[in-house]
């Protein structure tokens, strides 16, 4: 059984991700980090899901059973865990969240002592430890060697200070009216506090988490409600976060939801104009062709990587870059954060509006993304794409019609994800039917 997907371990809480798996996984991770231990402390945070209580207690039990001390900080955004793990000199950080998923799912994400997400090699080592019964058994300790756990409620201030430090000192948000959709999630306290302290007039929606309403018809995956509120309150801009606040969706003053690649493009140009863009921008293989054209027009190069913000981070580190992201809203300013941070991205876009003295729609309107169609197709087996008969001919046919394509398997489910993109949308639906039928026959028999 494979535990780790594209972003930690994730699944239905109480079924795949039950208390037994969480406890044993925490033990396995603790055993791995023990070899590199400096403080013997591990930080644990969570979002607002009810199942977080179950999983948190199981993780604490697993870590203390092998001698680790645990610092519990309660509901906080994922990027806050990355920041605080390093800031508080912990050996590792653990975030309990399924990000944008419904409340009934949950997940466990790990960070190393520097606040970086773990690479696949480390995840593989933790999986190997997880399935090693003897090593797990031998790592249990007793008596005074058992670890301790303590809850700290005032670390939110440290994260708020770090977030505010990303905002230009010569600017204030006093002239902006902002609507924040915090998705009944981990940012429900932090986001309004940051924007108010920087002077904005703030209207907050979906800030009453009850453990079961996280991401429910709200937040980054459902920005239409935010769009309505932006127009209703005549706000300058709206920002929607997901359940753990590591992604951002922007709504302009007209109630139009910004395309993720448009947001990436204008923020990259803003960094370049300030002389703060270190190298190429990094985006995933799903990025829109219009993003590359916009960046190239402004003499900014683009490099691509696999889907997942941890792959964006790995690519940025390998090229010495400091900006990148995903069209889904994970935007990484690595000068300010170790992972995608919706709050930092929202503040940077606010700074862009203020410094240019332009509306959100004027700024975002600089990029017109090409039409894309995405289909997730259930399959019975994952054959090597290179060996599928007729696929080369299908690709050549799409290329002859100037249609860009991306075919990739899901990392955690029996799905193939089919993406088509063209400057002319009228061909896409017909071509997607052909492509979907091709893969149905090839992968389902």
- Grouping H, G, I as helix, E, B as strand and the rest as coil, residue 149 is strand
Residues 95-117 have a mean pLDDT of 95
Closest by Cα among 310, 305, 303, 307 to 339 = 310
- The answer to whether 19 touches 321, Cβ cutoff 8 Å, is no
Per-residue pLDDT of 313-356, as tens digits, reads: 999 999 999 999 999 999 999 999 989 999 999 999 999 999 99
Give the span between the Cα atoms of 327 and 261, in whole angstroms: 5
- The pLDDT confidence band at residue 73, using thresholds 50, 70 and 90, is very high
pLDDT at residue 338, as a whole number: 87
Give the span between the Cα atoms of 132 and 150, in whole angstroms: 29
Q: Is the pLDDT of residue 412 over 70?
A: no
Q: Is the pLDDT of residue 303 over 70?
A: yes
Does 99 carry a binding-site annotation? yes
Give residue for tokens 């793990």: 85
Q: Is the pLDDT of residue 229 over 90?
A: yes
Mark out the alpha helices in 143-205 (DSSP H runs).
156-164, 190-197
Does 350 carry a binding-site annotation? no
Q: At what angle do helices 156-164 and 190-197 cross, to 10 degrees?
A: 50
- Taking the CB of residue 411, how many other CB atoms lie within 10 A of it? 14
8-state DSSP, 275: T
- The pLDDT confidence band at residue 250, using thresholds 50, 70 and 90, is very high
pTM tops 0.85: yes
At a CB cut-off of 8 Å and minimum separation 6, what does 97 contact?
A: 46, 47, 49, 52, 78, 106, 107, 109, 186, 243, 244
N- to C-terminal Cα distance for the chain?
Answer: 25
Please give the share of the chain, as a percent, with pLDDT higher than 90: 86
Which two three-digit tokens encode residue 18? 């039950």
Does 244 carry a binding-site annotation? yes
* Annotation marks residue 355 as catalytic: no
Q: Is the pLDDT of residue 445 over 70?
A: no
Q: Is the pLDDT of residue 195 over 90?
A: yes
Give the span between the Cα atoms of 145 and 120, in whole angstroms: 31
Of the residues 99, 262, 287, 350, only one is catalytic, namely 99
- The pLDDT confidence band at residue 81, using thresholds 50, 70 and 90, is very high
Does 7 carry a binding-site annotation? no
Stronger pLDDT, 281 or 425, i.e. the higher one: 281
Helix (H) or strand (E) holding 79: helix 78-87
Pick from 60-64, 239-243, 382-386: least confident: 382-386
| Structural domains present in the chain | 9-152 (3.40.120.10), 158-365 (3.40.120.10), 372-444 (3.30.310.50)
pLDDT at residue 343, as a whole number: 98
Residues 78-82 have a mean pLDDT of 96
pLDDT at residue 402, as a whole number: 86
pLDDT at residue 411, as a whole number: 67
Cα-based distances in Å from 11 to 17, 412, 413, 415, 417:
6, 10, 11, 16, 19
Which two three-digit tokens encode residue 165? 């430090």
Q: Is the pLDDT of residue 415 over 90?
A: no
């Amino acid at each position: 059984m494979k535990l780790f997907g594209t972003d930690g371990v994730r699944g239905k809480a109480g079924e795949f991700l039950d208390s037994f798996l969480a406890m044993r996984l925490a033990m396995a991770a603790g055993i791995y980090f023990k070899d590199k231990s400096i403080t013997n402390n591990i930080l644990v945070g969570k979002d607002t899901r009810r199942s977080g209580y179950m999983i948190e207690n199981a993780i604490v039990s697993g870590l203390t059973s092998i001698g680790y001390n645990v610092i519990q900080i309660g509901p906080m955004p994922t990027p806050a865990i990355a920041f605080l793990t390093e800031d508080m000199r912990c050996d590792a950080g653990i975030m309990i969240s399924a990000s944008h998923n419904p409340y009934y799912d949950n997940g466990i994400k790990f960070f190393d002592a520097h606040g970086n997400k773990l690479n696949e090699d480390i995840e593989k080592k933790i999986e190997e430890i997880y399935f090693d019964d003897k090593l797990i058994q031998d790592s249990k300790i007793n008596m005074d060697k058992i670890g301790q756990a303590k809850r700290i409620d005032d670390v939110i201030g440290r994260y708020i200070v770090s977030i505010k430090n990303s905002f230009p000192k010569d600017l204030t948000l006093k002239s902006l009216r902002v609507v924040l959709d915090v998705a009944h999630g981990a940012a429900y306290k932090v986001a309004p506090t940051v924007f108010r302290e920087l002077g904005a007039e703030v209207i907050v929606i979906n800030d009453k988490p009850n453990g079961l309403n996280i991401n429910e018809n709200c937040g980054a995956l459902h920005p239409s409600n935010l769009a309505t509120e932006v127009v209703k309150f005549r706000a300058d801009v709206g920002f929607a976060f997901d359940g753990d606040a590591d992604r951002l969706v922007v709504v302009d003053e007209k109630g139009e939801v910004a395309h993720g690649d448009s947001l990436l493009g204008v923020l990259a140009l803003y960094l370049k104009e300030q002389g703060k863009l270190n190298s190429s921008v990094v985006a995933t293989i799903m990025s829109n062709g219009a993003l590359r054209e916009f960046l190239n027009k402004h003499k900014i190069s683009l490099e691509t990587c696999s889907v997942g913000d941890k792959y964006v981070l790995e690519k940025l580190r390998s090229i010495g870059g400091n900006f990148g992201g995903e069209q889904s809203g994970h935007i990484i300013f690595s000068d300010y954060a170790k992972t995608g941070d919706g709050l930092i991205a929202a503040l940077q876009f606010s700074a862009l509006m203020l410094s240019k003295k332009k509306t959100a729609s004027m700024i975002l309107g600089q990029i017109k993304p090409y039409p894309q169609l995405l289909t997730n197709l259930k399959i019975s087996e994952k054959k090597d794409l290179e060996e599928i008969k007729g696929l080369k001919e299908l690709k050549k046919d799409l290329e002859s019609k100037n249609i860009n394509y991306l075919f990739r398997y899901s990392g955690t489910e029996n799905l193939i994800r089919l993406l088509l993109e063209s400057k002319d949308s009228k061909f896409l639906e017909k071509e997607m039917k052909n492509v979907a039928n091709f893969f149905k026959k090839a992968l389902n028999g």
